[in-house]
Amino acid sequence: MGLISSLALVGLFATSVAAEAPTDVRARVDYHVRQATELADHFDGVIRSDCPRFGNSGEWQAYVDDEISRMVLMAAHVEQAWVEAKTTGDDEVRQAAKAPRKRLGEARPLLNKLQTCAENNGATLSTASVWQRIDREIPRRQAEIALPR
């Protein structure tokens, strides 16, 4: 087999791997959108409910760490949905992947609520530190949740 034939086969193989069926991509996007939506719904409940009371600072810290971890996970699912959607030219899949991005804007009211709850529990919460943690942890969480292809 000549060099040109070999290069043609390599190009054909690379093209077939890169161009995934929209239904496969859609299934992965739908999974990440569903996960992000469930987490956003959880946060809606946190915002609407009364602040939980804790007996000590350790209990409060465990609670707030868990909520921040959920925020990271939601952002990772939103980002991963978009990463998946970009592998197809299907506009419907891309629109579906963009939909939960609007819910990320609800993070500010959530952080305001958590800050109020911290004060009610005799603690403080630095929103700047929370944003730094979220930004720092998203790539790791995104790698953990990426579905196999």
Q: What is the pLDDT of residues 24-67, one digit of tens each?
A: 999 999 999 999 999 999 999 999 999 999 999 999 999 999 99
Alpha-carbon torsion 137, 145, 104, 65, what sign?
negative
Quote the DSSP letter at residue 146.
P
| CA 67/CA 46 separation, integer angstroms | 9
Question: Are 104 and 120 a contacting pair, CB within 8 Å?
Answer: no
Domain boundaries, the chain: 21-145
| pTM of the shown model | 0.83
75-116 pLDDT, tens per residue?
999 999 999 999 999 999 999 999 999 888 888 999 999 999
Tell whether the model's pLDDT for residue 17 goes beyond 50.
Answer: no
Consecutive H or E run containing 1: none
Cα dist from 141 to 50, 77, 80, 119, whole Å: 29, 9, 10, 29
What integer pLDDT is reported at residue 8 of this predicted model? 36
122-133 pLDDT, tens per residue?
999 999 999 999
What integer pLDDT is reported at residue 22 of this predicted model? 66
What integer pLDDT is reported at residue 7 of this predicted model? 34
Question: Are 129 and 61 a contacting pair, CB within 8 Å?
Answer: no
| CA 98/CA 110 separation, integer angstroms | 21
* Secondary structure of residue 87 in the 3-state scheme: coil
Question: How large is the angle between the packed helices 57-85 and 107-120, nearest 10 degrees?
Answer: 170
What integer pLDDT is reported at residue 10 of this predicted model? 36
| CA 35/CA 51 separation, integer angstroms | 24
57-68 pLDDT, tens per residue?
999 999 999 999
What integer pLDDT is reported at residue 106 of this predicted model? 84
